[in-house]
């Protein structure tokens, strides 16, 4: 059993090390884009399925409440949390449209979206990203498995070079936490004792 624990941690570390080597500049660009979005009075719309839906909700909460420092709330919404919207769209149209319909209703030009898909091929995430681009939103993708279709349709993709869902998800949440910290440092340097 100890071997299983050690092997899991070692693999998680390897995947994260590879991710940061391959995505460092893209992660910094993503942080600057999110910070600019917030600073200009726009919002971040986040979505995904399953564990990625949980990540969307988690990261929206970090922005709206706070991450590690006291600062004003930042406008982020998880599109995976309203069960009435999700079930009505799924029932009346298709599960493929649960996020794109919300983008159409809530997204305004210069808002930003973050679509999360471990496979990179979630139809509802891809459709939402395509819808967002059509109405002038900047699109970020957080994916794995070589990027999939999501990497091809978003403005900036952060890709975990791995095919194991647990390792991809562990890397996604680390990247999302780093994104939160970078955005806070860009927008609120005084909270970190920087000027």
Report the alpha-carbon angle 64-170-8, nearest 5: 155
Q: What is d(CA 180, CA 69) in angstroms, rounded to the nearest whole number?
A: 11
96: in domain: yes
11: in domain: yes
Domain that holds residue 163: 2-189
86: in domain: yes
195: in domain: no
pLDDT digits 0-9 by tens, 105-158: 999 999 999 999 999 999 999 999 999 999 999 999 999 999 999 999 999 999
pTM: 0.96
pLDDT digits 0-9 by tens, 13-60: 999 999 999 999 999 999 999 999 999 999 999 999 999 999 999 999
* Strand ranges in the chain using DSSP code E only, listed in sequence order: 44-48, 76-78, 112-117, 138-143, 156-159
93: in domain: yes
178: in domain: yes
43: in domain: yes
- Is residue 195 classed exposed, middle or buried when 0-12, 13-18 and 19+ CB atoms within 10 A define those classes? exposed
Where residue 182 sits, what CATH number does that domain have? 3.40.50.10490
Domain total in the chain: 1
39: in domain: yes
């Amino acid at each position: 059993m100890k071997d299983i624990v050690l092997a899991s941690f070692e693999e998680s570390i390897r995947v994260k090390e590879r991710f940061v080597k391959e995505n460092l500049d893209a992660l910094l660009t993503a942080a600057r884009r999110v910070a600019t979005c917030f600073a200009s009075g726009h919002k971040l719309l986040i979505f995904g399925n399953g564990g990625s839906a949980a990540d969307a909700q988690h990261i929206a909460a970090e922005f709206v409440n706070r991450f590690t420092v006291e600062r004003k709330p930042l406008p982020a919404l998880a599109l995976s949390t309203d069960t009435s919207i999700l079930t009505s769209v799924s029932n009346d149209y298709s599960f493929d449209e649960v996020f794109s319909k919300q983008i159409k209703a809530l997204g305004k030009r210069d808002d930003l979206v973050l679509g999360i898909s471990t496979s990179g091929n979630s139809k509802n995430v891809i459709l939402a990203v395509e819808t967002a681009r059509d109405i002038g939103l900047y699109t970020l993708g957080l994916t794995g498995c070589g990027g999939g279709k999501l990497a091809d349709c978003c403005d900036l993709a952060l890709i975990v070079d791995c095919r194991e869902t647990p390792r991809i998800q562990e890397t996604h949440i680390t990247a999302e936490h780093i994104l939160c910290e970078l955005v806070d440092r860009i927008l609120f340097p005084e909270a970190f004792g920087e000027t």
